[in-house]
Structure 1
Amino acid sequence: MAELTSGSQEEAAVGKEPVPAARPIRTPAALFRRRVGQHVRWQWMVWRTVIDWTVWVYVFIPAALYGGSIYRHWWKTPPEWMSNLGTGTIAAVFAVMLFSMGRLRTFIEEPDAIMLLQRPKWLGGLRLRGAIYSVVWRLLFAAVPIAVTLVWSTQVKLLSVGEIALWYELTAAIAISAISLRSIVEANLQGWRRTILLLAITSLLTIGYTWLMVKMLGGNGSAAGSEQAHPAGLGAAAAVAVVAAIAGFWLRLRFYGTLQADIESERASRLTLSSLILRQVAPVKRPRPTRTRPVLFSGSGRLIRGNGQQALIADSFMKSLLRKMEYVRLLLLFYVISTIALLIAPGWIAGICALVLPIIGTVWARDRFEGWMDEPFIKGFAWDAGAVRAGMEKALLYLLVPLALWLGGLAGWKMTGVAGAVLGIGFGYVWLAIVLVPLLLFASEIRRQKQQRAE
């Protein structure tokens, strides 16, 4: 029998360094160990890209200490909200976590395809060992939510150790059945049929498990007002689930599909963590034609009337800002968030918010204006410093007067009613036009003079 000495592409040499001779692979077990080792190293490299010592020091360790302290306190005195936590809610969360993810691993990669087709026993050995590996991990994964909710199950539901063990046995068996069925479907179906069938299986398992837990453990969270647990029924359900898990495991090994399906399934499993970490990275796509005509103010007409430089500057900045939809969305979002903040705040706090929120909007608009003035095309014109200052003031007022009037009127209405709304509108205009904008312009002028002296 030929000896295998090649690993996967992850073991390729880099540069001109000599490649050490790989240990020959003579058995399916040796190939399986090689693939598991490569998988562990790959996952470790992925985790190292996002987790370093600072994450441990500032996130994980404090979170573990704080979370452990809270959990210890819960063991002594369960919080009141835990008594209102129903069995159906717990079961539904468990089902979504355990039944909608995962598949039976095979650890079959593309470099192994030709060799495995020539050695059917090796192919079957890899599938069997990969399935056992997946079952062991699923047993450990199913124990995590059971362990986390021990406070609820022992202190609130008053379940015994035997009942918790049967609950775990039932949950783990259904989870194993779920990954077996998922693997069978993915290996034998494609396209929309596979998607619909997977969704149907997950939904049925979730609904059935939730209903069964409510019947076996009682529906309500408090032990006093809930039905008593049914150990006999729970044990019978666990036994049936174990038989179903064994049957699903055997069916997966029997209806394994094609070798290419196993390779694609293994690739998807191996890259799950990488895809999760890199989900915010935009994929490289073919360039598409973009819309060059702006949605708002696509014409060349003036928004701000006037013949001086200040009117031209204010008008050009307003159109430049409002023609970019990301800025328009940001302004609308700021208006909405500010309105919600005033609506949920008490009267006098709403008045403070009506003073503070326009400051945030004015500073943002001032920064956008200064960035716009620093653009090469705009800097190419010989603008008068006074005209620039007046143009900034005019643009800020046009942008933020509606916000100041709206927030002032809303705060006044919350404090004293309709009369307060009228006074608030006037006060909002005075606060923005007479106090806030001149102060920001003064600060911008001082900063500009400092920059000129530094240059």
Structure 2
Amino acid sequence: MNSSSIFLRRLRENQRYKRKVWRTVADWTVVVYIIIPVILIGIFRYISWWQETPSWAEPLPLSIFFFGLFLLSWYGNIQTYVEEADKLFLVKKRKLFLGVKVFGYGYSLAAEALSTIAILIILSPILILKFNIGSGLIFLLFFYLFSFRSTILICKYYWKRIESRWIGMFTGICLFAVFGGIHLGAYSLFVGGDLLNFALAGLSLILLVGSVIVSYRALLRISTIDHDIKMGQDSKNSGINMIFTISQDVEKPVITKRKRPLLFRRSKRMFQKRTKANGFIELFIKAFIRNFSYWLSYFQMTSVGAAAIVVIPPMWIKSIIFFAYLFMMYTWLQSVWDKVFQVNPITKKYTEADDYFKARKRTILILYFIAILLLIGISSVGLFIYSSFSILYQMQ
């Protein structure tokens, strides 16, 4: 038994586990009627990009695509494939234990490299045909993005070890600002000519070598075993968490480290008039705001819907997206209301009262109306910015 055999066995088990999770969602009907058509449509659309630059990309400058690459660089984590049982066995065999972590880190870097290659392959028709970027610059862009993402990996590894909510939030904002500055400087070097391209290659090499050295030193510490186990479990359960989020019948518990709620700490009254209907509304609003996953999903659905309306050019597809959003948002709000009241045995016995249905209808309609206003507002701003870029592009 050696480190490589342990790592490969755990990697196979992890991939097998994730396949089982996805099979619970993607049955044959989903594969035949959704996944396969989406793949075929995507392939035909990608082929058309090589023949003609898509209309949505015409007014967009290279800086917008570079900013999109910056956002995509934040996905991914270092996976060490450390398990709970390692505390009892592998820790006593330090060399064997550290070997598993090093192999896991190498696999994480390989995954980052493959995802970077996939992103550049998808964008290559636009980069080559629209911006006239040659193969040499594309390879330089790959080298920079891979080095940049490897640096973000190790920074996120330390960042997620912070237990304090506020310190972690402040650290995350600082990291985002620092890496944003680095990425902006890299963009200036990328478009600055041959001499500055050599400077970008040197910056990329420094980022890659520095991140590997710091990561290797971090992996040699046995004291981080609890953090490594937690990150591995989070990655392994990401598929299950997605199913829980989508499912209307399963309530996903939200675990927070706060001793007191951030809002409504003393649970003050929201309505001066105390009626049964207002009581249901107040209880739902407080539960909705205190639950991070609820209001985050609320704004995510709205922002994604607005982005789709702005980016996708045909008007008939925009209309389909808008009406699909209306249906999905209303259905989701109904499911969230039912989760809040029907899961709790104390509130569940009041779910047959007339005031309960009155409060349910009123609250859902208010949140539904606010979501529509947000969608229209964000879409209007996005369309204005998009049209401004189109006008500037035509003037050039």
Flag whether TM exceeds 0.5 (same fold).
yes
**Contact 1:127 1:253 (8 Å CA) reproduced:** no
**Matching residue of 1:326:** 360
**Contact 2:241 2:252 (8 Å CA) reproduced:** no
The 5 Å alignment of 1:118-129 reads 118-129=92-103
Distance 2:241 2:204 in 1: 32
Cα gap change, 1:277 to 1:208, in 2 (>3 Å): farther
Q: What one-letter code is carried by the residue in structure 2 that aligns with 1:51?
A: A
Distance 2:82 2:369 in 1: 55
Which range moved further: 329-338 or 87-96? 329-338
Distance 1:94 1:338 in 2: 30
CA offsets 1:398-433 (integer angstroms, 9 cap, x no match): xxxxxxxxxxxxxxxxxxxxxxxxxxxxxxxxxxxx
The 5 Å alignment of 1:70-89 reads 70-89=45-64
Cα gap change, 1:327 to 1:82, in 2 (>3 Å): same
Distance 2:44 2:137 in 1: 27
Which range moved further: 163-172 or 194-203? 194-203
**Matching residue of 1:236:** 199
Structure 1 residue 255 corresponds to structure 2 residue 218: yes
**Matching residue of 2:78:** 104
Q: What one-letter code is carried by the residue in structure 1 that aligns with 2:243?
A: I
**Contact 1:295 1:323 (8 Å CA) reproduced:** no
**Matching residue of 1:294:** 277
Cα gap change, 1:72 to 1:285, in 2 (>3 Å): closer
CA offsets 1:325-349 (integer angstroms, 9 cap, x no match): 2212455578889999xxxxxxxxx
Distance 1:54 1:77 in 2: 34
Q: What one-letter code is carried by the residue in structure 2 that aligns with 1:295?
A: N
Distance 1:173 1:36 in 2: 24
Distance 1:285 1:131 in 2: 29
| Structure 1 gap segments, 5+ residues each | 1-25, 219-228, 299-318, 341-455
User: Greater relative contact order: 1 or 2 (C-alpha under 8 angstroms, separation 6 or more)?
Assistant: 2
**Matching residue of 1:282:** 251
Cα gap change, 1:136 to 1:59, in 2 (>3 Å): same
**Matching residue of 2:233:** 267
| Structure 2 gap segments, 5+ residues each | 256-266, 268-273, 282-352, 375-396
**Matching residue of 1:191:** 164
Which range moved further: 327-336 or 239-248? 327-336
**Contact 2:276 2:355 (8 Å CA) reproduced:** no
**Matching residue of 2:297:** none
Which range moved further: 190-199 or 166-175? 190-199
Q: What one-letter code is carried by the residue in structure 2 that aligns with 1:54?
A: T
Cα gap change, 1:129 to 1:331, in 2 (>3 Å): closer
CA offsets 1:122-145 (integer angstroms, 9 cap, x no match): 121011111101000000111222
Cα gap change, 1:163 to 1:247, in 2 (>3 Å): same
**Matching residue of 2:386:** none
RMSD of equivalent CA atoms: 3.2
1:66 offset after TM fit, Å?
1.6
Cα gap change, 1:210 to 1:274, in 2 (>3 Å): farther
2:174 aligned residue (176, 200, 205): 200
TM-score by length of 1: 0.55
**Matching residue of 1:52:** 27
Cα gap change, 1:270 to 1:235, in 2 (>3 Å): farther
Structure 1 residue 133 corresponds to structure 2 residue 107: yes
Q: What one-letter code is carried by the residue in structure 1 that aligns with 2:277?
A: P
Cα gap change, 1:152 to 1:296, in 2 (>3 Å): same
3-state SS in 2 of match to 1:176: helix
2:183 aligned residue (190, 209, 214): 209
* Structure number, greater radius of gyration: 1
TM-score by length of 2: 0.63
CA offsets 1:2-32 (integer angstroms, 9 cap, x no match): xxxxxxxxxxxxxxxxxxxxxxxx2122211
CA offsets 1:270-312 (integer angstroms, 9 cap, x no match): 22232233224423589xx9x98222999xxxxxxxxxxxxxx
The 5 Å alignment of 1:355-374 reads none
CA offsets 1:343-388 (integer angstroms, 9 cap, x no match): xxxxxxxxxxxxxxxxxxxxxxxxxxxxxxxxxxxxxxxxxxxxxx
Q: What one-letter code is carried by the residue in structure 2 that aligns with 1:34?
A: R
1:211 offset after TM fit, Å?
4.6
Distance 2:160 2:373 in 1: 49
1:68 offset after TM fit, Å?
1.8
**Contact 1:46 1:274 (8 Å CA) reproduced:** yes
1:88 offset after TM fit, Å?
2.0
**Contact 1:173 1:238 (8 Å CA) reproduced:** no
1:150 aligned residue (124, 129, 138): 124
Q: What one-letter code is carried by the residue in structure 2 that aligns with 1:121?
A: K
Cα gap change, 1:328 to 1:126, in 2 (>3 Å): same
Distance 1:252 1:277 in 2: 32
Counting aligned pairs with the same residue, the percent is: 20
